[in-house]
Every structure is written in structure tokens, then in C-alpha cells.
């Protein structure tokens, strides 16, 4: 491997394409192997080194090298590899978050659908109950009244409340059992 000094960089800064090509040919393979040690993917390693040389040529007049050209190229390759690794980590985290978010959305949609179906079953079952039975059930389950309070409010016996609640709960159990069998 030829030694390239600061003077090589000076010639490249002045636009000497032949000097740039010599440096490229001399370091390309070893820089690719160096990059591969970080990222373990030869295609990406080659892409990183090609990008490094492209940017080196493009920004040659602005780049200040105080050590050696070789040290600069290796350090720049290492920095690009570390950036590449961090970028991939961010992409992986984002992908995982998107999967979690999509799963959450699917779960929420499923819960909403199930809730809507259950609400429909409840409404439909309520509409199938005789009026007095429906009224007793709603006072018990939706307003939280005890059987004694319902009996007093409707001026009926507790036994009538119990019988109507039994009838309503049996119908609900049957409808929900059917729903469970269809959902399974």
C-alpha cells in the first residue's frame, strides 16, 4: 500500500482527479473490510465507503486534514459505520413501535366491535322482555336498585320482582351463551 501524505490531500483539494483515483484504488478494499468489521454486511460496507469517497471529492476544498490522509479515511469510515448502526437501531425501534401500535389498534377495534355486538344483544334481549319484566331489570341493573326498593317503587311484591328478574336473567344467559358459541 502506497503512503499518501498531506500533500496527496493538497493535490486532491486542487482538483487532481488522478491523485484522487490513486487514493481510491489504494484504500477502497481495505476500508470496505474495515467497515465490514463494524456492520457485518459487505454491501452496506461498500456503500458506506463509496459514499465516503463521493463526499470527500465533493467537499475536498473544505476538508482540513491535520493527521494523515489514511487516518482521516479510516476515522471517517468508522464514524459513518457508527452512524449507520445508530440509524438502523432507530429504524428497528420505530418498526417495533409500529407493530405494537398496529396490534393495539387491532385490539381496540376488536374490543369496539365486540362491545357493539354485546350492546346489540343486550338491546335486542331487553326488547324481547315483557314490559314489566324489562322495567324491573332496568331498575335493578341500570339504576342499581335493590329488589325491596323496586317492589316499593312499583307497588309489587318482592316475589314478583324476583320472578321477573329470574326470567330476564335466564333470557340474557341464553342469548349470551349463544353469542359465546358463535364467537368461538
Determine the Cα–Cα distance for residues 88 and 84; give it in Å rounded to an integer. Answer: 6
Measuring CA to CA, how many Å separate 46 from each of 9, 31, 33, 67, 97? Answer: 22, 8, 9, 24, 30
pTM (2 d.p.): 0.53
Residue 184's pLDDT is 62
Beta strands in 98-151 (DSSP E): none
Residue 19's pLDDT is 93
Which helix (H) or strand (E) segment holds residue 61: the answer is none
Rg (CA), the chain: 38
Matching residue, cell 440509524: 87
Query: Could you give all domains of the chain from N- to C-terminal order, each with its CATH number?
Result: 6-95 (1.10.1740.10), 103-183 (1.10.10.10)
DSSP 48: H
Which residues does 77 contact at the CB level (< 8 Å), separation at least 6? 31, 34, 35, 48, 49, 52
Residue 4's pLDDT is 55
Q: Assign residue 40 a region (left: φ > 0; alpha: ψ between -120 and 50; beta: otherwise).
A: left
Tally Cβ neighbours within 10 Å of residue 73: 24
Q: What is the pLDDT along the chain (184 residues), one digit of tens a residue?
A: 455 566 888 899 999 999 999 999 999 999 999 999 999 999 999 999 999 999 999 999 898 888 889 999 999 999 999 999 999 888 888 888 888 888 878 888 788 888 888 888 888 888 999 999 999 999 998 899 999 999 999 999 999 999 999 999 998 888 888 777 766 6
Residue 183's pLDDT is 64
Amino acid at each position: 500500500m502506497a503512503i499518501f501524505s498531506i500533500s496527496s490531500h493538497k493535490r486532491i483539494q486542487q482538483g487532481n482527479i488522478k491523485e484522487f483515483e490513486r487514493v481510491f484504488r489504494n484504500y477502497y478494499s481495505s476500508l470496505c473490510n474495515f467497515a465490514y468489521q463494524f456492520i457485518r454486511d459487505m454491501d452496506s460496507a461498500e456503500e458506506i465507503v463509496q459514499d465516503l469517497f463521493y463526499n470527500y471529492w465533493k467537499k475536498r476544498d473544505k476538508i482540513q486534514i491535520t493527521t494523515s490522509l489514511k487516518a482521516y479515511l479510516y476515522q471517517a469510515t468508522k464514524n459513518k459505520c457508527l452512524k449507520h448502526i445508530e440509524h438502523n437501531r432507530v429504524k428497528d425501534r420505530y418498526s417495533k413501535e409500529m407493530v405494537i401500535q398496529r396490534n393495539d389498534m387491532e385490539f381496540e377495534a376488536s374490543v369496539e366491535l365486540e362491545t357493539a355486538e354485546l350492546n346489540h344483544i343486550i338491546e335486542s334481549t331487553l326488547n324481547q322482555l315483557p314490559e314489566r319484566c324489562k322495567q324491573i331489570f332496568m331498575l335493578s341493573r341500570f339504576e342499581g336498585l335493590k329488589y325491596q326498593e323496586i317492589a316499593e317503587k312499583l307497588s309489587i311484591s318482592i316475589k314478583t320482582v324476583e320472578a321477573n328478574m329470574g326470567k330476564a336473567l335466564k333470557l340474557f344467559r341464553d342469548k349470551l351463551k349463544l353469542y359465546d358459541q358463535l364467537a368461538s
